[in-house]
Homo-oligomer: A and B are copies of this chain.
Amino acid sequence: PDAQVEASARKRQSQLTKPPGSLGRLEALAQRLAGLQRRVLPRVDRVQISVFAADHGIADEGVSAFPQAVTAQMIANFAHGGAAISVMAQTLGATLEVIDLGTVVAGPPLPGVRHERIAAGTANFARAPAMTDAQLAQALHRGRAAALRAADAGVELFIGGDMGIANTSSATALACVLLGCAAATLAGPGTGLDAAGVMRKAAVIDAALARHALAPDAPLDALRSVGGFEIAALAASYVACAQRGIAVLVDGFIASAAALAATRLAPGCDAWLFYAHRSAEPGHRVLLEALQAEPLLDLGMRLGEGSGAAVAVPLLRSACALHAQMATFAEAGVADRA
């Protein structure tokens, strides 16, 4: 971030025809984006949404309300425009790409879908490491590549989405390792478990964590042992966006677990991360607090796909429009304070 540009943007805000501070967090958003984009008048017109999809072996433990076949079915739904993130991408005029990192059932070629399959889902981390070292490297590489495509396209905002039945279990396990807490602190209903299901999910995760004995300061080990292909890819995409100077709007629980891993892999990257919303998934509140993040929205969403981040994009656009287009007191001939 460029502190001098951010200071110039702050000065401009103070001259706009409104009481100082009266646009609230929209003022800080515009200023922060200015510093990140190194221009006093930032923009978020060009948005790329990369949805990473993959299956999870942990689904075998009965931790999800939906069957695993849904991951591949939803990839087709993304491509055909029927999923929430497809509708939002069209509404926003954003570029949507779906990256199939490995589903149990391989889908057919589809427009807008990149088939970059690593394996037919991860291994069941209740019994074995979720991935090999080579698979983790591939997942990280594919995430990074998505960010580099965004950079090459001149994108002004990157959103990473996730799709993968049972991935709240993987995200919970990963965050438990990085935060050093028990599964009960973070486990939630995901797509719709009942209370007994949540307790069972937490027990599965705690048993797996005892088996793997991971250290909080080894994020790659944690990603390899209990992560998912899409979660590792998200983490790598965030780090790469920060390295290439692209602001990121982080979605919900899965994306925030990936953001936590990203900030452990590359602590400086947090300056590029904006948090879109507080999910209804109860563990998200804990994750956001650990990330010292104050999300923009709190609408009880819990869908993933990047959908919560997409819904928050107009707030960033409004912040930029107000910052760029409002008149100053001098331009408008309006008296400043008494």
Contact = CB atoms under 8 A, between A and B. Distances in A.
Interface of A: 16-26, 64-67, 69-70, 73-74, 76-77, 80-84, 87-88, 90-91, 191-192, 280, 296-303, 307, 310-311, 314-315, 317-318, 321-322, 325-327, 331-335, 337-338
Given A18-B84, A298-B298, A77 B23 contact: no
Nearest to A22: B303
Contact of A192 (B19, B84, B280, B302): B19
Given A19-B302, A301-B26, A322 B191 contact: no
A191 B77 CA distance: 49
A163 B300 CA distance: 33
A301 B319 CA distance: 12
A325 B83 CA distance: 9
Contacts of A24: 280, 299-302
Query: Which among A70, A87, A338 has the greatest number of chain B C-beta atoms within 10 A?
Result: A338
A65 B337 contact: yes
A91 B321 contact: yes
A338 B67 contact: yes
A208 to B, nearest CB: 21
A82 B19 contact: no
Contact of A335 (B70, B83, B301): B70
Contact of A318 (B67, B83, B88, B332): B88
Query: Which among A19, A88, A307 has the greatest number of chain B C-beta atoms within 10 A?
Result: A19
Given A70-B334, A335-B66, A91 B317 contact: yes
Given A80-B327, A82-B331, A83-B326, 4 more contacts: A66-B338, A84-B326, A90-B321, A296-B299
Contacts of A91: 317-318, 321
B333 A87 contact: no
A81 B327 CA distance: 8
A65 B337 CA distance: 6
Contacts of A67: 335, 338
Contacts of A325: 81-82, 87, 90
Contacts of A87: 321-322, 325-326
Contacts of A82: 17, 325-327, 331-332
Nearest to A16: B84
A23 B83 contact: no
Question: What are the nearest 5 A-B pairs in CB distance?
Answer: A82-B327, A24-B300, A314-B314, A19-B191, A22-B303
A18 B81 CA distance: 14
A338 B331 CA distance: 62
Given A17-B77, A76-B332, A337 B66 contact: yes
A71 to B, nearest CB: 10
A332 to B, nearest CB: 4
A226 B280 CA distance: 42
B307 A23 contact: yes
A84 B334 contact: no
Contacts of A23: 84, 301, 303, 307
18 contacts: A16-B84, A17-B74, A18-B84, A21-B280, A23-B301, A24-B280, A66-B335, A73-B332, A74-B334, A76-B332, A80-B327, A81-B327, A82-B331, A83-B326, A84-B326, A87-B326, A88-B318, A90-B321
